[in-house]
C-alpha cells in the first residue's frame, strides 16, 4: 500500500494519491529494500516498537511504554497515535529541538493550527522522528524515519495569504498506532501469509529514510 499526503505529492505529478495492490508487491511504488517486522497478533497487525528518537536523540523510555496494550499498523487511522506518556515525551522533545521559540499548547493537543505566510514553509524548523522496529531476525532492529513533512501537516483552504498546519500526532488511551501520518512516507506491505509487515521508502516521501541497525 502506498499513500501520498498533502505534504508529499507524488513525484512529477504535483497531485496526491495512492495505490493499493492485492496479492503481491509492485516494485515501481518503492525504492531500495523492504524491511520486515514480525506480526505479533494478526487481528490488529500488531508489531513491536523498540524505541523512538527525536532529532537523533532517544526518548529513553522503557520499550514497554511504546507497546502498552499494543502497537499496531493501521491505514484506517489518520494520525500517529501514542500512549499518553510517550506522547508527552515526544512533544517535550520536539519543542526542545525545534527552531520555534514558542508554540501554543493548543497546537500540540490538536485544537489549534499554526500558520505561516504562503512564502514560508515551516518544515525546516522541526526535527526528524525515528521509530525503531523489531527485525525479522529478532536480534536486530531497523528504523523508519519521519520527515517533518509527515507530521506537520498542511490544512488546505485555511487562508489566502498564509498556510496553516496541524500536528499529525495525538495521544491514545489504549494503543500506539502507526496510522496515515507514518504510512504516507512509506510503501507498506501487509504480508499475512508470512506474518509480517514491511516498510520501504516511498517516492512520495523525498528523503524519508529507513535503514538497518544492529
| Residues with Cβ within 8 Å of residue 60, at least 6 apart in sequence | none
* Domain range 2-13+29-213, CATH architecture: Beta Barrel (2.40)
Report the chain's mean pLDDT, rounded to a whole number: 85
Q: pLDDT band at 128, cuts 50/70/90?
A: very high
Rounded CA-CA distance 79/74 in Å is: 10
% of the chain exceeding 90 in pLDDT: 57
Q: With contact defined as beta carbons under 8 Å apart, do 165 and 149 qualify?
A: no
What element of type H or E holds 211?
A: strand 210-213
104-118 tens-digit pLDDT: 889 999 999 998 887
Largest CA distance in the chain: 52
Residue 55 DSSP label: T
**pLDDT for residue 10 is more than 50:** no
Q: What is the pLDDT of residues 73-108, one digit of tens each?
A: 998 899 999 999 999 999 999 999 988 877 788 999
Amino acid at each position: 500500500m502506498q499513500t501520498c499526503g498533502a505534504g508529499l505529492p507524488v513525484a512529477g505529478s504535483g497531485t496526491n494519491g495512492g495505490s493499493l495492490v492485492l496479492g503481491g508487491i509492485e516494485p515501481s511504488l518503492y525504492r531500495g529494500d523492504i524491511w520486515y517486522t514480525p506480526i505479533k497478533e494478526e487481528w490488529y497487525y500488531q508489531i513491536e516498537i523498540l524505541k523512538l528518537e527525536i532529532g537523533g536523540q532517544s526518548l529513553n523510555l522503557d520499550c514497554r511504554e511504546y507497546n502498552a496494550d499494543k502497537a499496531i499498523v493501521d491505514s484506517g487511522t489518520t494520525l500517529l497515535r501514542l500512549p499518553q506518556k510517550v506522547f508527552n515525551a515526544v512533544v517535550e522533545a520536539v519543542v526542545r529541538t525545534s527552531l520555534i521559540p514558542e508554540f501554543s499548547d493548543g497546537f500540540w493537543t490538536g485544537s489549534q493550527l499554526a500558520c505561516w505566510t504562503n512564502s514560508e514553509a515551516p518544515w525546516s524548523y522541526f526535527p526528524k522522528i525515528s521509530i525503531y522496529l523489531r527485525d525479522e531476525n529478532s536480534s536486530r532492529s531497523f528504523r523508519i524515519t519521519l520527515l517533518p513533512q509527515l507530521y506537520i501537516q498542511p490544512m488546505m483552504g485555511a487562508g489566502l495569504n498564509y498556510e496553516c498546519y496541524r500536528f499529525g500526532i495525538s495521544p491514545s488511551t489504549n494503543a500506539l498506532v502507526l496510522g496515515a501520518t507514518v504510512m504516507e512516507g512509506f510503501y507498506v506491505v501487509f504480508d499475512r501469509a508470512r506474518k509480517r509487515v514491511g516498510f520501504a521508502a516511498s517516492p512520495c516521501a523525498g528523503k524519508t529514510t529507513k535503514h538497518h541497525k544492529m
